[in-house]
Amino acid sequence: MAKIDFGGTMEEVIISDEFPIEKAREILKDETITILGYGVQGPAQALNMRDNGVNVIIGQIEGDEYWEKAIKDGFVPGETLFPIKEAAQKGTIIMELLSDAGQTATWPVVKECLNEGDALYFSHGFSIVYKEQTGIVAPDNVDVILVAPKGSGTSVRANFLAGDGINSSFAIDQDFTGRAKDRTLAIGIVVGSGYLFPTTFQKEVFSDLTGERGVLMGCLSGVMEAQYNVLRKNGHSPSEAFNETVEELTQSLIRLVDQNGMDWMFSNCSGTAQRGALDWSPKFRDAVMPVFEDLYESVANGTETKRVLDVNSKPDYKEKLQAELDEIKNSEMWLAGAAVRSLRPTQRKK
């Protein structure tokens, strides 16, 4: 492992240069890797592994939209694409990439298919950490491992195709074979990780659920909506309000933060923007700190996961979800966003 200084704290990470793809292939050469679920992370991890020369098959509900997607991506029914139970029976490493609710629903079937020495793989600590809610308790005679890419499936695949990696965490909850770490790191490399950093199942799920409800999605959506509404309330046009709230962030500033850090962005903007950002940043931090503390506690005590399992397992969930998404899509702010995006030169040329 390479030792890296993260702001004064030394951490050990695995970088792809020290764990080459050839080593990963050698470790996995006798494994049959079954991916259960071809929805969000499934396609990206499956396609990256297939492109890296690893033996991967897909388990999915026969005939549904994700089954058809797998066929379009080149997986062949009866050869590399199977119903969930049959795929699980064939695998030596079973990658649980169904939704969290889907993992709970299919666990009795999957558990029956595990053989001694198999590995049970997750990209999220949800099912194992909240076992009282999910009922997922792995048998003692298998490895239980995790690789969690820090990005959506779309990003995992796009970064791979661009020749870049995506940061991933890894964890080992149970090492029955003595090979759990090798298996974990090898899979981490072949799914397209640029570097891997160690965690635990619990820390992964606590940080992940907090992040996606917070800065990554929930908080971001909420604060953008708040600023947009204040600008509109004070007479600014939809175009102006959207550009000052979303477009400049996504098309310019966040890219500079990504490339150089927040301090660099602050030092390379106008003096007026610089002073305002430095003065107001602590106010926003202090205002939202209690919200984040409540959020973390809600994650840690199982409130968030209980709601996910309760709501997402209802038979009419997809219809209700679509109604919620349509409400966002048809709001003035995001209708303005669609109009702004259509005016980008790359869109006008299509």
CATH number at 108 reads 3.40.50.720
Out of 151, 179, 199, pick the residue that ends a domain: 199
pLDDT at 194: 87
pLDDT at 348: 57
238 with 303, same domain: the answer is: yes
Calculate mean pLDDT across residues 215-237: 96
**236 given a catalytic annotation:** no
Structure tokens, 21: 């793809």
Confirm whether 206 is domain-assigned.
no
162 with 239, same domain: the answer is: no
Confirm whether 205 is domain-assigned.
no
pLDDT at 15: 85
pLDDT at 5: 83
Residue 175 has pLDDT above 60, yes or no: yes
CATH number at 234 reads 1.10.1040.10
Q: What's the rounded Cα separation, in Å, for the pair 38 and 46?
A: 8
* Three-class secondary structure assignment of 276-298: HHHHHHHHHHHHHHHHHHHHHHH
pLDDT at 349: 60
Banded pLDDT at 75 (limits 50, 70, 90) = very high
Calculate mean pLDDT across residues 146-159: 93
Share of the chain above pLDDT 90, in %: 85
Out of 131, 164, 199, pick the residue that ends a domain: 199
Q: What is the pTM assigned to this prediction?
A: 0.90
Q: What's the rounded Cα separation, in Å, for the pair 290 and 296?
A: 10
10 with 159, same domain: the answer is: yes
Indicate the average pLDDT of the chain: 94
216 with 111, same domain: the answer is: no
Q: Give the other-Cβ count within 10 Å of 220's Cβ.
A: 13
Out of 176, 199, 222, pick the residue that ends a domain: 199
Structure tokens, 267: 């030092």
216 with 144, same domain: the answer is: no
32 with 158, same domain: the answer is: yes
Domain range holding 332? Answer: 211-348
pLDDT at 347: 64
Half-sphere exposure of 276 (CA within 13 A, CB side): 5
**Mind listing the pLDDT tens digit for each residue in 257-266?**
989 999 998 8
**Mind listing the pLDDT tens digit for each residue in 296-316?**
999 999 999 999 999 988 999
186 with 127, same domain: the answer is: yes
Domain tally, the chain: 2
Banded pLDDT at 344 (limits 50, 70, 90) = confident
Which listed residue (50, 124, 157, 183) is catalytic?
A: 124
Confirm whether 204 is domain-assigned.
no
Q: What's the rounded Cα separation, in Å, for the pair 196 and 147?
A: 8
**Mind listing the pLDDT tens digit for each residue in 124-142?**
999 999 999 999 999 999 9
146 with 283, same domain: the answer is: no
**Mind listing the pLDDT tens digit for each residue in 238-252?**
999 999 999 999 998
pLDDT at 74: 97
**Mind listing the pLDDT tens digit for each residue in 90-122?**
999 999 999 998 999 999 999 999 999 999 999
Share of the chain above pLDDT 70, in %: 99
Residue 337 has pLDDT above 90, yes or no: yes
Q: State the DSSP H helix or E strand holding residue 159, giving kind and residue range, or none if neither.
A: helix 153-161
Structure tokens, 24: 């990963």
DSSP codes of every residue in 178-243: S-HHHHHHHHHHHTTEEEEEE--HHHHHHHHHHHHHTTTTHHHHHHHHHHHHHHHHTT--HHHHHI
Banded pLDDT at 60 (limits 50, 70, 90) = very high
Q: What angle do CA 4, 16, 206 make, to 5 degrees?
A: 65
294 versus 269: the higher-pLDDT residue is 294
Residue 175 burial (C-beta neighbours within 10 Å; 0-12, 13-18, 19+): middle
DSSP codes of every residue in 316-332: THHHHHHHHHHHHHTSH
315 with 190, same domain: the answer is: no
Confirm whether 256 is domain-assigned.
yes
Confirm whether 306 is domain-assigned.
yes
**Mind listing the pLDDT tens digit for each residue in 45-59?**
999 999 999 999 999
Confirm whether 229 is domain-assigned.
yes
189 with 239, same domain: the answer is: no
Banded pLDDT at 350 (limits 50, 70, 90) = low
110 with 58, same domain: the answer is: yes
Longest dimension (CA), the chain: 67
**Mind listing the pLDDT tens digit for each residue in 190-225?**
999 988 999 999 999 999 999 999 999 999 999 999
162 with 35, same domain: the answer is: yes
228-234: long-range contacts, CB 8 A cutoff, minimum separation 24: 228/333, 229/333, 232/332
